[in-house]
Amino acid sequence: MLDMAENTLEIRDLIVQYHTDAAVIHAVNGVNLTLRQGEALGLVGETGAGKTTIARSVLRILQTPPAKLMGGQIIFEGEDLLKKSEAEMRKIRGNKISMIFQDPMTALNPIEKVGWQIAEAIRLHNKISRAEAERRACDMLEMVGIPMERYSEYPHQFSGGMKQRVVIAIALACNPKLLLADEPTTALDVTIQAQVLEMMRDLKKKLNTSVILITHDLGVVARFCQSVAVVYAGEIVEYGTVEHIFDFPTHPYTIGLFGSLPKLDATEKRLKPIKGLMPDPTKLPAGCRFCERCPAATEVCEKSPPEATEVAPGHLVKCFHTGVKA
């Protein structure tokens, strides 16, 4: 574990459940993460794995009920966010920690000018005049590649890619130390996606912001992130640098993710998808969460969950058979 002075965020044994009348959904099950200052960490995995729940837990914006934080710590700047009051969290949200939500169409207020929405975020956390907030909002628009003359326009006058740039401008308006980006390029076409990622990379370097990037796209992770956490059924099953995960994938699930991707230089005629579906989050297996889909599963996998094993410095894997290839 790194010295906390170097870390922007440290998540310890985070457990989140959703309680309904019908059942208890085990969404996040003992997650541990460390994020250094200026680092970009990619959270990858299938839909429903718990990635967005982890990010929303950091900001404390889970809908309660049905969500319940059952345990763990989220250490930011040496303090546990889970112990802070709602008033204290409001001073942190949008100021020290910001989030880019998945759908820019719904993240913006359709009846307010885009410039005003950026200026509002600035004025909430800074004791400055309206004119100064507007000037900073214009600067933010220019920073994300939108002419300041469009300050007084409404969201419906912008394309999908431009809306996403506005959302990024709002998120970065107060120079946050931590940015949570929930699939920020999913709704964009490939050309605009590349432009937005390049812009986010430049802004991250300029502002020295730490980033948690949630995505299904391993190509995006390869271009943007320094480290990767592979999430499955609410657990991190493999964690390491981009080089660790891409050059030496070890967990059968991670190997399966790469095997299901098309490769231009491959000789195989068919992809190798991962069979089956993720387990029911209301009835998780007693042993390894992936054992029902794993080609290397044995009896021990069904009986008890594996502990994280360090297969290389900083490369952690939750698997009893770390030497077995799927």
Domains within the chain, CATH numbers bracketed: 4-96+174-318 (3.40.50.300), 104-173 (no CATH)
Structure confidence by residue, pLDDT tens digits, 153-166: 999 999 888 898 89
Supply the pLDDT for residue 1: 39
The mean pLDDT value of the chain amounts to: 89
Structure confidence by residue, pLDDT tens digits, 179-230: 999 988 776 777 777 887 888 888 888 888 999 999 988 888 998 999 999 9
What would the two tokens of residue 34 be? Answer: 């460390």
79-80 and 67-76 strand pairing? antiparallel
Q: Given pLDDT bands bounded at 50, 70 and 90, which one contains residue 323?
A: low
Indicate the Cα dihedral angle 319, 320, 323, 326, nearest 10°.
-60
Structure confidence by residue, pLDDT tens digits, 44-56: 999 889 999 999 9
The answer on pLDDT for 281 being more than 70 is yes
What would the two tokens of residue 246 be? Answer: 């891409």
User: CB atoms < 10 A from the CB of 3, how many?
Assistant: 7
The mean pLDDT value for 302-307 works out to 91
Supply the pLDDT for residue 4: 42
Dist CA 9 CA 75 (whole Å): 6
227-232 and 235-241 strand pairing? antiparallel
Supply the pLDDT for residue 91: 92
Supply the pLDDT for residue 266: 67
Dist CA 322 CA 57 (whole Å): 30
pTM of this prediction? 0.88
